[in-house]
Amino acid sequence: MAIKLTRPLTRFDGFQNLGAFKRPNDTRTVDELKATIELWAKASSEVKEFLPQLDKMNPKHLGLVADTIELANRKALLPNDINLKSQTSAGKTLLGVLLDIFPRASKNNPNSLDFAQEVINNTDAITSKFFLWQTTGGVLENAKVAEHFKVAKPLVEIFAKKTLEPPKIYTFENQENFMTLVKSVIDEDADPKKVSLVKDIYDKMNENGFLYLWDFVSGKAPIAKIEDNLSTLNKISEMFTKTRERLDVGEYLTKNTNLY
């Protein structure tokens, strides 16, 4: 039985952190999410147009819909805010474009919406809006990168910590750096098997190591060789720390032949 709410149940009230941080889990039920979206629809014709999708979309993605609508209605008092209510060349606002995309993506590439929710759960509102804006060009609906999004999801928190600290409020430099990493691992030319190894690589490399991410995930080195070299990355990293040298981790993983 549908429930009645007097106001939308929201997740972005109060002071909003900047940079990389983990947002509390969304505890709203499916009925609460539907009622929340219906309340938002009273003030937005584009949200009202979306209402027929409430019972068609995968319920697990309704939280993303509610979060996106809320983000569009929260204006940050910062110089570098993203306005999801700005008009696009499609004759709709960015919010309206996203609400058109989500049902298709939920069907064709649900992993992309899981990934988008992970971004919202691990970044500030500015970065979340920047990500949503940057993925309106067809990538979320693209079934060819479904596996990419799946294996890349654990990297969201890592990418956020690497690029969003310390926060910058006058430019989108941090957000652009975050998206550069994201785009590297969800590109059609990236190898999902290599993307699936990236978290382990970051876990095993230290501050003296660096990884040219795109070169690694798009390279032609055999997975078996990379996995063999990955098993010794801890020891090699420690050795480079002692000598204070920089370690090109991608070069080591793809070209080291000491084990062959």
**Cα torsion 5, 102, 180, 117: sign:** positive
- For residue 260, what pLDDT is reported? 38
Q: Is there a single domain that holds both residue 115 and residue 200?
A: no
Q: Both 120 and 38 in a single domain?
A: yes
User: Within 13 Å, how many C-alpha atoms sit on residue 41's CB side?
Assistant: 16
Query: Which residue among 188, 216, 231 closes a domain?
Result: 188
Mean pLDDT of 127-151: 97
Output the CA–CA distances (angstroms, integers) from residue 19 to 84, 106, 123, 127, in the order listed: 19, 28, 6, 8
Last residue of a domain, one of 157, 188, 219: 188
Residues 225 and 136 in one domain: no
Residues 118 and 217 in one domain: no
Shared domain for 148 and 252, answered yes or no, is no
Q: Is the pLDDT reported for residue 38 higher than 80?
A: yes
Residues 94 and 201 in one domain: no
- pLDDT at residue number 75: 85
Q: Identify the domain boundary among 173, 188, 203.
A: 188
Q: Is the residue at 246 inside a domain? A: yes
Per-residue confidence (pLDDT) for residue 182, from 0 to 100: 98
Percent of the chain with pLDDT over 90: 84
- Asked if residue 184 and residue 134 are part of one domain, the reply reads yes
Pick from 12-16, 104-108, 165-169, 217-221: least confident:
12-16
pLDDT score of 257: 61
- Does residue 209 share a domain with residue 135? no
**What mean pLDDT is reported for the chain?**
94
pLDDT value of position 259 = 43
Structure tokens at 90: 């499609």
112 vs 45: CA distance, rounded Å: 26
**Res 166: pLDDT:** 94
Q: How many domains does the chain have?
A: 2
Instruction: Give the range of the structural domain holding residue 86, as residue numbers without chain letter.
Output: 24-188
Are 206 and 170 within one domain? no
Write down the pLDDT at residue 15.
Answer: 74
φ/ψ (deg, to 5) at 123: -135, 170
The whole-number pLDDT of residue 243 equals: 81
Could you tell me if residue 15 is inside a domain? no
Burial (CB count within 10 angstroms: exposed 0-12, middle 13-18, buried 19+), residue 260: exposed
Q: Could you tell me if 197 and 180 lie in one domain?
A: no
Q: pLDDT value at position 77? A: 76
208: helix, coil or strand? coil
Q: What predicted TM-score, i.e. pTM, was given to this entire model?
A: 0.94
Token pair of 95, please? 């919010």
Q: Are residues 38 and 165 in the same domain?
A: yes
